[in-house]
Amino acid sequence: MPNKSVVVMGSYVADLAFRTEKLPAWGETYMGASFRLGPGGKGSNQAVAAARAGARVSFISKLGHDAFGDLARTTYRDEAIDATYVFPTTTPTGAAVIIIDAVRGENAIIVVPGACFELTPAEVEQARPLIQQADLFVTQLELSLPTVEFGLKLAHSLGVPTILNPAPGRALPASIFQYCDYLTPNESEAEVLTGIRVTSLATAEQAADAFLARGVRNAVITLGAQGAFLKNAATRAHVPAVDAGPVVETTGAGDAFNGGFAVALAEGRDIVQATRFGCAVAGISVTRPGTAPSMPHRSEIDTLLRR
C-alpha cells in the first residue's frame, strides 16, 4: 500500500523532562534523578508518531529562530516530515516542563506554547493545496481556538476527514464539533467538555453520546490502561489496551495513539481496527522514555499486532 498523506496542524515545544521521586513544595529545592531535553508539543509528537507509523506527513505550525526551533527543524528533517508550512517568527519557540514520577512513570506538565500559538487562520489558508490532497487532517488544542476551528472547517470543506484531539482539555465553542469526523479525548478531557466524569465504560458511553449529539461523527475516548471506548451511529466497542511490556513513562501516550489512529484511518481501516492500531502504538511508546523519541516504527507496530 502506498504511504497515505496525513496533515497535522499543531504545536511544537521543546520538552524539558525532569524525573524525580517526589514533587518539591513551594520554596523547596529537591534533587531530581535525571533531566532530558527533546522535541515535543502535541502536534509535533503526533506528526512524528504518524511518520514512523508509515504515513507521508506534513506539519503546519510556527517556530522561532532559536535553539528550540532548530531542534524542531532537525527533527522534521530526520523523520522525513514535510515542514513547508512551518512558518518563522521572531517570537521564541515554546517549551514544556514535564515532571515525571520516577516510581510510577506518571507525569505532570506545564506548557508555554510560544511561537506556535501565533499561527493564524490566514497562514493555514496558505496551506489549502496541501490540505486538499491529504487523506486525513489532524489537530489539537495547543493553538489558538480560532486557528483550530478554521483548520477543521477548511479540511471539512475540502472533503478531508478530520481528527480533533481536544488536548489539553478546555471549553470549546459549540460550532467546532460539526467539523469533527473523529474526536479523541481522554477521560479528563471528556469530563471538561461534557461535565460527565468518565470512570467506567458506561460513563465513557454517556460522554460519547454527548459528543455525537453535538455533531461529532465518531467519538473515541481513550482510557489509559483500559484502552479506548468508541461509538458512532452504527458501532459501539471497547478496545482493550495493547500490552507491549512494563510501563516506563506515560508522557506522549495520547500523542502516540492519535498519530497511529490517523495512519490506520488513512489506510482504510475501520474505526475499531484503527483504534486497536492506535492502542498498539501507545502501548509501545509507554515502554520508553520521552515523547517524540518514544514513538515506534511501523515494523514494531505490525510485529506487536501479530502476536
Which sequence positions are flagged as catalytic? 255
Q: Are 186 and 140 contacting, i.e. CB atoms less than 8 angstroms apart?
A: no
Written in H, E and C, the secondary structure of 131-183 is HHCCCEEEECCCCCHHHHHHHHHHHHHCCCCEEECCCCCCCCCHHHHHHCCEE
SS3 16: strand
* 82, 278, 221, 244: CA torsion to nearest 10: -130
DSSP at 4: P
DSSP string, 23-92: PPPTT-----SEEEEEEE-HHHHHHHHHHHTT-EEEEEEEEESSHHHHHHHHHHHHTT-B-TTEEEESSP
**159 Cβ partners below 8 Å, 6+ apart?**
none
Query: For residue 286, what is its C-alpha cell?
Result: 509507554
Q: Are 64 and 91 contacting, i.e. CB atoms less than 8 angstroms apart?
A: yes
89 exposure class (CB count in 10 Å sphere: 0-12, 13-18, 19+): middle
What letters, b where the CB count within 10 A reaches 16 and e where it falls short, cover 243-263? ebeebebbbbbbbbbbbbbbb
Beta strands 218-222 and 182-183, pairing class: parallel
Query: For residue 202, what is its C-alpha cell?
Result: 458506561
